[in-house]
Structure formats: C-alpha cells, structure tokens
A and B are shown apart, each in its own frame.
Chain A
Amino acid sequence: MSRGILQEAEAEHIVRLPKRVKGPNNWQQRDDGNWYMEMPVEAPEQWPLRLYGRFNPRTGCYTFILFCGTLNVRRLDVGKRHHNPDCNDVGPVHKHTWTDRFGDKWAYEPSDISSANSIRETFFAFLAECHIAFEGQFREPPQTYQKGLL
C-alpha cells in the first residue's frame, strides 16, 4: 500500500493471503437506521485489515467489505445494481474489485451467489473468495427497523 493508496497487485496479494476472523459478528444499529458489523482480520502479514458489514432493514440491501485501511480490497453488494466505467451494467448481486485504473469503481457479477442465497450463504461465499476463515458463531443481522415510526 504505497502513498496511502492500494495497488491492484497488492490488493490481489492481500486477497490470496490466508486470513481469519473470530466470531461472533455482532451487529449494531446506528442513528441512520442501518445495522453494522466490524471485525479485525488476522493475516500472516502486517496489513490493517478489517471485515465490515452493513444491512439496511428497510431495503433488504446489504454490503460486506474487506478493508485495507480505508480502502475496499473487495466489496460485495446485494440489492443494488451497478454501472461499470465501460458502461456495462452488472446485476443486484455484484462484487467490487480494486483496480489500478478505476479504484473501487469496477464490479463483476459472481457466479457462486445470487439474490436467492441467504445472508449467511452470501457472507460465507464472500469470506471464501477472500480466503478468510471464520471462527465462532455467525449472527444474522436483525431484520427489524427499530427507529420508531416511519
């Protein structure tokens, strides 16, 4: 990670490293009504890695991100369509991958998961791609919106 920005080769290197997180993954609701989880990621090399998740109970959309510092190494979005810089659209389940040219703006449609999969299945598929082992108990985000009357 040079000059505070990630290079594509570094991002791929980080993804390939065997890593682990220790559960449970606790969710917390913030003022904006979304549920969030964050976990430090252990790796054999000194990278500032963390696993982040956000679930919006009002839309059902959710996001998981493998961060290196403040940059997305991999990002999974479910429930939102995406437009790539080459003008191709990708579907409501897509993964952002870090590239030198486009930063985190490039996304592709994964073949192993779809909207039909549960959050649990999607989460573990994302972890598998990122070579992250999960130890402990996985917790689903609460499905309720608890911020009072709409």
Chain B
Amino acid sequence: MKSCEELRETMLATLPLLFVCQEENNRLKISTPYLYPNGDYIDLYLVETPNGLYLTDLGETMGYLADYSIALKQSSKRRKIVHDILLTHNVELFQGELRVYLEKEEQVAHAVVRLSQAITQISDLVFTLRLGTRTTFKEEVEEFWVEYGIPFERDYVVIGGSGESYTVDFYLSVPKHPWLVETLSSQSRSYANTLVSRVIRVWHDLHRVDGRYRYLSLIDDSADVWKAEWLDQLAEFSEVIAWSEREKLLQLLKAASGQGKASL
C-alpha cells in the first residue's frame, strides 16, 4: 500500500485535472467535477470588470430550480434555506446569478470551491419536492414482501409456451407452489388497458408450459382506471387482488403454503 505521502502526491497531482478551464466570450469558463442532482456538471464563469473579478454561475442554478417548478419567491421556507446557504459561503444572488466577488486573483481556487458547494446545496432543493419521497407501485409491493418476510426475487425471467421469455415483476418462493406476480399500475385508462392485455398475454403463454407456478395480478386501485371486464379477463388466468385489499393477499399466500402465519 502506498504511504500517505505518496497518496498525497497522487491526489494533489490529480485534483486540478478535474477542473477544466477554457476562454469563452471574454470570460473564463471553469468546468467543475461537481454535479447538479440530475447529473449535469456545474460550470462556473470568471468574469473581469473594471471593478474587479467575480465568479458566477450565470443564472444556471436558478434556471435548474425553475426546471423543477421551484420558484423562490413562492416559498418563504426555501428563500430562508437559500439565504442561509448564501450566508455560509459568502455568495451573492444578483439578478438570478450566484456570484462570489474576488479581491485578489489568488482567491479564485477558494471561490470555485465555495460557489460550487453553494450551488450543490441550493440545487438539492429539488429533493424537497414530494416526488423525491415517492416510490413506484412495484417498489411499494416489494416493501410489502420484505415487511411480511415473504421470500421473493424481483424481475424473474421465465419462458412461455411459445418459447418467448418474459420478465415477471416478482417470483415468490412459497412452499408447494411458487407464485409469479405482475403489478399493474396506471393513471390512464388507455394505458391500463394496454397493461392488462400484456399481462393476460404473459399469463396465457406461461399457462401453456406446465403447472409449476401460481399466478397473481396485483392491481394498483389508487386510480379509477380499471374496467371490471378487464379484471374478469385477468381472473381467468390468475388471482386478482386490488392493493387496497392486500390483507387478502396475505390470506391467499398463507392458505397456499398451508401455514397459519404471515411469514412464509
């Protein structure tokens, strides 16, 4: 293993390579290794005026927040957070730009780090949007298996009677007969129709192979998009359970495994 001294040499030689500078429109563009939350790189610009130098993002951070419908003037809480971040790093918000004013050229490196850190912290406001904490229906179902100790495999590949392979959402390792589970979730009736057709086709093709599995269609009924006749069609090939009635799911799995407790 390298000594601390050697690692230090390597690190100090490598770090500056992560910052790329190029002259652009009479200013210096500094490409940093720091990222906005969606993975886009943070670029900074060093601008020289008769009054001195300043480092700026040229309004990209506020634009990034706007892409996620975040407007500071609409939320005093977010304004307060941003104000606190600006205070910490001595950064100014001027006409939509985040700026650091420099008294001496030697301050540039320090300013690049301060401004980059302020930008990453401010752009992290997108994580305060509600969607950041939401999960897909499939993930919610996965959490259910974990919570009730039901052994499962996600994205299980199985071959149908036609020879075509399908990736089914879940394989449940239940004694006697394992289960294959497909989750169906949509906010749109037409897409729900597409989903039902696809799942029926999968179940139909798998039915033609053998009787190794039992089949379960789990319906996200948080939106009223499912027609009764579609569910009837699904029921010809699988058990159909609405997510709002998932206690039935536990009973079904318990009965299938011949055990009297939730954990299978």
Contacts and interface: CB of A to CB of B under 8 A. Distances in A.
* Chain A residues touching B, majority SS: loop
Contact of B41 (A10, A63, A81): A81
B176 interface: no
* Chain B residues touching A, majority SS: mixed
B220 A2 contact: yes
Contact of A2 (B38, B68, B69, B222): B222
A134 interface: no
B66 A85 contact: no
Contacts, number: 122
A80 interface: yes
- Pick the most buried of B35, B134, B138, B191: most chain A CB atoms within 10 A of its CB: B191
Interface stretch (B182-190, B208-216, B234-242): B182-190
A33 B97 contact: yes
B137 A2 contact: yes
A148 interface: yes
Given A54-B66, A147-B96, 13 more contacts: A5-B134, A7-B137, A10-B186, A10-B191, A34-B63, A54-B63, A58-B58, A61-B60, A63-B67, A75-B38, A82-B39, A83-B41, A147-B95
Interface of A: 1-5, 7, 10, 13, 30-34, 36, 44-47, 52, 54, 56, 58-59, 61, 63, 65, 70-71, 75, 77, 80-85, 96, 100, 104-107, 147-148, 150
